[in-house]
Structure 1
Amino acid sequence: MSGADFAQQQLHSLYQDHHGWLYGWLRRRLGCSHRAADLAQDTYLRVLTSGRVPDQAQARPHLMQIAKGLVVDRHRRQRIEQAYLEALSHQPMAVAPSPEESSLVLDTLVRIDRMLASLKPRVRETFLLSRFDGLTYSAIAERLGMSVATVRKDMLVAMQACLAATEAP
């Protein structure tokens, strides 16, 4: 049996042995059978794309860890989508984006949110103070008790991460 056949057999066994349990766990957690089914399939897709099928002893903890991450991602996306829709509701209908444009904007916002969450706290705070509170580098340096040069370095890191997040597919 080739390595690919063995991996496929392992994945099949993992799915057969644990799909019902995972689906039930997600359904209880989400309160919706359709979302649970989608996230259960997404969990197995992540296992498939990772190329790492856990052994039987670690199967459920591994699947649960992936599924929890997907649930968190889903809640985060819903929160971002609600904020986006709220912002759109204050715009005239003439400037309302198409569904395709809205989807692209939401995907970009989710990537930016992930990027912000991945930054070191000081870098994230520096970025937010500059871009959302409109503070100057001098004001940020004074508020955070650091040099203007450090603010510049933190902003460079944040802007590079932001650029990378918005260019990602």
Structure 2
Amino acid sequence: MATHDTDAIIPLEVLYHTERNWLLAWLKRTLGCSQQAADLAQDTFVRLLARNQPISAQAPRALLARIARGLMVDHWRRDALQRAYLQTLALLPEANYPSPEVRLEALQCLERIAQLLDGLKPAVREAFLLYQLGGLTHTQVAEQLGVSSRTVERHVAHALLHCYRVCFE
């Protein structure tokens, strides 16, 4: 796209027509799948539309790439969660296998938990998950992570506060 005045605003329709092919090509190179690239390109523009904010003419490709990258991470996270969940289900006896509705609800719940924990430092997230979902005490988590019990307490408190803020913002 040509150089733009830094105060200029680009209408979404113009951005779509001028940069869609570039975004699609970038996503195809990144993902290696034209179908996924098309879906994510469309989702990127839908995200911009939902944002309902003016789009600066300064570095529009960087904005598109940043949004698309976030959507890719979300997609990969959902895929990883789904694979892990399905692998766990495969270990269950057939009699205990949940219905499709329950499986969908569980996957949606796992995705929401992942979104809640997004943005936490890995050490904080791991301490929180071990404590809350792993059923370990602060001391056990500390031993497993090689940190002090007080550090685990701070990590868990930080994660709880983060989740509270995300839920009630």
TM normalised by structure 2 equals 0.74
- Between the two structures, name the one with larger relative contact order (CA 8 Å, sep ≥ 6): 2
C-alpha separation in 1, matches of 2:90 and 2:159: 29
- Bigger shift: 76-85 or 151-160? 151-160
1:163 Cα deviation (Å)?
Answer: 7.5
Which whole-Å CA distance do the structure 1 matches of 2:99 and 2:28 have between them? 32
Q: Give per-residue Cα distances to partners, 1:126-145, cap 9 Å, x unaligned.
A: 32332455432344457522
**RMSD across aligned positions (CA):** 3.0
Match of 1:82, SS state, is helix
Query: Are positions 1:19 and 2:28 aligned together?
Result: no
Deviations 1:90-118 (A, max 9, x none): 11233323333322222221221233343
The question of 1:82 aligning with 2:83 is answered yes
- Contact 1:47-1:53 at 8 Å conserved across structures: no
- Normalization by structure 1: what TM-score? 0.74
Give the structure with the larger helix fraction: 1
Q: For the structure 1 residues 53 and 64, does the alpha-carbon distance in structure 2 shift closer, same or farther, using more than 3 Å as the test?
A: farther
Measured in 2, the distance between the counterparts of 1:28 and 1:153 equals 42
Mapped partners of 1:32, 1:151: distance in 2: 41
Residue deviations 1:54-95 (CA, integer Å, cap 9, x gap): 233421111111111111111111111110110011112333
Q: Which amino acid aligns with 2:61?
A: R
Identity rate, percent: 41
> Deviation at 1:39?
0.7
Q: Which segments of 5 or more consecutive residues in structure 1 lack a partner in the other structure?
A: 1-6
- How many residues matched? 158
